[in-house]
């Protein structure tokens, strides 16, 4: 390993690289500066059959306390390169996988379409992987294409169109296919009124005020878009309201109705401010979080006959 990755650090605690501050040690960790270095690291790992995992901002990933007996690839913190080409009323934006989403929101002065992303931590690649979104919009709305590395019999670099990315609510083909590595992406945004954009960003930040402060991964479960048993809808008329107004039932509502707000296992707590957030009060373990997640799923199933699906990703050996 030392021969092929001389800059790799050994036995690195991963909790420092997650917004949840949870996670065991990685046997090896390397920091890459740009997509060329990412490509090189991934190719070497594939060729040498070394298991690897790419961590963006670590803001959507529950890292196991058991750590990872392989190579974790993270991005160096540095000012990203963002190339903007204006064409009529639109701009095409090209940038690396590692570009923080928040940087894009702030940097793309005069372009509209990413205002929803204000306040979301993490990288563009992490957002593409899980089709991050808020307020009825998501990253898929702005993606034109994604440059990827794909491992098969040989390693190929290719450009996937938005359609080929298989975006859906909080998912994409990247989520289920670890043999696809995102190198960079091209976004298409419309030009907009600067003052209106600023106003929208301010409004969206305001809406995030109910989010619990502290260490978390944001929403743990996806909102529920499926059918609900009519007897249950009759008992909880709010469900019909949500379905009519939003098109889904918020996971937070279901969890709150189960009386789970404030439930604690170890230092992991179902937030009393927002039931779909689990917060790490100080020294929570991944096991504590998994137990809380199982409890939530069990109680929601029992009360509402609904199977909640995880929004967060679980990285375990």
Ligand X SMILES: Cc1cc2nc3c(=O)[nH]c(=O)nc-3n(C[C@H](O)[C@H](O)[C@H](O)COP(=O)(O)OP(=O)(O)OC[C@H]3O[C@@H](n4cnc5c(N)ncnc54)[C@H](O)[C@@H]3O)c2cc1C
**Binding flag, residue 127, ligand X (CB under 6 A):** yes
**Binding flag, residue 214, ligand X (CB under 6 A):** no
Residues contacting ligand X: total by CB under 6 A: 32
Strand partners, 133: 138
**Binding flag, residue 258, ligand X (CB under 6 A):** no
The Cα–Cα gap between 147 and 277 comes to 32
Helix (H, G, I), strand (E, B) or coil at 35: helix
Residue from 15, 22, 45, 58 in contact with ligand X (CB under 6 A): 58
**Binding flag, residue 181, ligand X (CB under 6 A):** yes
CA distances from 76 to 10, 15, 48, 152, 229 (A): 17, 16, 23, 28, 49
Active site residue 21: no
Report in angstroms how near the CB of residue 87 gets to ligand X at its nearest.
Answer: 27
Stretch that binds ligand X, among 23-31, 212-220, 264-272, 284-292 (CB under 6 A): 212-220
Long-range Cβ contact pairs of 44-51 (< 8 A, separation 24 or more): 44/4, 44/5, 45/71, 46/151, 46/155, 47/155, 48/4, 50/1, 50/4
In what helix (H) or strand (E) does residue 310 lie, and over which residues does it extend?
none
Residue from 15, 45, 59, 263 in contact with ligand X (CB under 6 A): 59
**Binding flag, residue 133, ligand X (CB under 6 A):** yes
**Binding flag, residue 97, ligand X (CB under 6 A):** yes
Active site residue 309: no
CB atoms within 10 A of CB 119: 18
Catalytic hit among 39, 142, 170, 271:
170
Active site residue 98: no
**Binding flag, residue 218, ligand X (CB under 6 A):** yes
Identify the residue whose tokens are 């095409």: 92
Contact 80, 103 (CB under 8 A): yes
The Cα–Cα gap between 24 and 286 comes to 9
**Binding flag, residue 60, ligand X (CB under 6 A):** yes
**Binding flag, residue 72, ligand X (CB under 6 A):** no
Binding site for ligand X (CB under 6 A): 19, 53-61, 97, 101, 120-123, 125-127, 129-130, 132-134, 174, 181-182, 211, 216-218, 313
What are the catalytic residues? 170, 219, 311
């Amino acid at each position: 390993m030392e021969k092929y990755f001389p800059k790799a650090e050994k036995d690195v605690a991963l909790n420092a690289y997650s917004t949840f501050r949870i996670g065991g040690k990685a046997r090896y960790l390397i920091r890459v500066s740009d997509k060329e270095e990412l490509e090189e690291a991934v190719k070497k790992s594939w060729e040498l059959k070394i298991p690897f995992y790419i961590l963006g901002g670590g803001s959507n990933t529950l890292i196991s306390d058991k750590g990872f007996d392989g190579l974790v690839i993270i991005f160096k913190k540095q000012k990203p390169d963002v190339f903007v080409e204006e064409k009529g009323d639109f701009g095409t934006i090209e940038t690396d996988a590692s570009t923080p989403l928040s940087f894009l929101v702030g940097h793309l002065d005069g372009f509209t379409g990413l205002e929803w992303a204000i306040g979301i931590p993490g990288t563009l690649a992490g957002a593409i992987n899980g089709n991050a979104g808020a307020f009825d919009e998501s990253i898929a709305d702005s993606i034109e294409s994604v440059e990827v590395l794909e491992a098969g019999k040989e390693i190929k670099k290719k450009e996937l169109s938005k359609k080929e990315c298989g975006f859906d609510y909080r998912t994409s083909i990247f989520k289920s296919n670890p043999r696809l590595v995102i190198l960079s992406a091209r976004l298409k945004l419309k030009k907009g009124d600067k003052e209106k954009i600023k106003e929208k960003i301010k409004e969206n930040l305001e809406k995030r005020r109910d989010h619990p402060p502290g260490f978390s991964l944001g929403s743990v479960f996806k909102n529920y878009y499926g059918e609900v048993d009519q007897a249950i809808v009759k008992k909880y008329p709010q469900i019909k309201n949500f379905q009519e107004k939003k098109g889904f039932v918020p996971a937070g509502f279901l969890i709150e109705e189960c009386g789970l707000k404030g439930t604690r296992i170890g230092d992991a707590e179902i937030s009393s401010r927002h039931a779909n957030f689990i917060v790490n009060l100080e020294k929570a373990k991944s096991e504590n979080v998994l137990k809380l997640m199982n409890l939530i799923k069990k109680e929601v199933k029992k009360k509402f006959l609904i199977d909640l699906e995880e929004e967060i990703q679980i990285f375990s050996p």
